[in-house]
């Protein structure tokens, strides 16, 4: 049905290009950490003996997926790229390859400057201010993470004595258009974090019937009159620990 805005024309039918028709399943772990920290992946490959178990491809080249062992179990690890379209499509391909249970780990902007760099945030809901999710779910303001995934992350954080908050996150395609008015609006509706992929991840998971949750750490600050990077992407120890926590939570699913 034609609507005033094309993005509202959701169609649940199978796509003409279906991942399962293009990608042969492989012997990959069903558990997968979607990791945004390239330096962590490099270390797993170069120092911890991670082996390549699959490879995704795009116009940018190869995107390897690695397999490691944790707690006597197999675990896949890969970088999804940045932004909802690329990251969401890569998760589609990971599902077609054979992964079924996902935890993503990454950084995010914060809409409250009181959230210190490194604060752990578990998004239970994402505000759908991007385009990708509207092709997977009917139009709506929000999409939820998998409850089982959120519960697994919370259990691991509690056991390790980590302070964290469960919150909404604001997923947007256009980080150069995060205006003061929009920041205030999203903060008023309960968003602590802002990032570019969560709504896409959660929508794909619901559409394909897999489990997906995410663990974020507070990075740059958008709550003031001027943007403050807070050098969020230099927090190597935080990022490595976040990966370890995400891996442990994923293997509980």
pLDDT of residue 2: 80
Boundaries of every domain in the chain: 25-250
d(C-alpha 239, C-alpha 68), whole Å: 18
If one looks up domain 25-250 in CATH, what number appears?
Answer: 3.40.50.1580
DSSP code of 27? S
pLDDT of residue 205: 98
The rounded average pLDDT for each run of 10 residues, N- to C-terminus, in the chain (253 residues) is: 88 94 94 97 93 90 94 96 96 98 98 94 98 98 98 98 98 96 97 98 98 97 93 91 98 97
pLDDT of residue 186: 97
Cβ-Cβ contacts under 8 Å for 232 (sequence gap 6 or more) = 107, 117, 218, 219, 220
pLDDT of residue 133: 98
User: CA end-to-end span of the chain, whole Å?
Assistant: 39
Beta pairing class for 142-144 and 164-172? unpaired
With a threshold of 0.85, does the pTM exceed it? yes
């Amino acid at each position: 049905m034609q609507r005033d805005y094309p993005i509202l024309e959701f169609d649940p039918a199978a796509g003409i290009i279906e991942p399962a028709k293009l990608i042969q399943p492989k012997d990959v772990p069903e558990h997968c950490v979607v990791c945004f920290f390239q330096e962590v992946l490099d270390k797993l490959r170069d120092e911890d003996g991670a082996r390549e178990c699959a490879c995704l491809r795009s116009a940018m080249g190869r995107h390897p997926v690695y397999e490691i062992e944790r707690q006597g179990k197999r675990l896949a690890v890969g970088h999804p790229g940045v932004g909802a379209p690329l990251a969401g499509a890569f998760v589609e391909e990971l599902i077609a390859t054979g992964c079924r249970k996902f935890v993503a780990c990454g950084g995010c902007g914060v809409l409250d400057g009181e959230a210190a760099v490194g604060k752990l945030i578990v998004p239970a809901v994402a505000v759908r201010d991007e385009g990708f999710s509207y092709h997977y779910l009917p139009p709506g303001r929000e999409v939820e993470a998998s409850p089982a995934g959120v519960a697994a992350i919370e259990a691991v954080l509690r056991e390790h004595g980590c302070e964290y908050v469960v919150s909404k996150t604001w997923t947007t395609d256009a980080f150069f258009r995060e205006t003061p008015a929009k920041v205030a609006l999203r903060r008023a509706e309960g968003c602590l974090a802002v990032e570019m992929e969560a709504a896409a991840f959660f929508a794909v998971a619901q559409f394909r019937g897999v489990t997906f949750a995410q663990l974020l750490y507070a990075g740059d600050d958008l709550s003031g009159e001027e943007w403050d990077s807070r050098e969020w992407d230099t927090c190597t120890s935080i990022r490595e620990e976040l990966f370890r926590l995400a891996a442990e939570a994923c293997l509980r699913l």
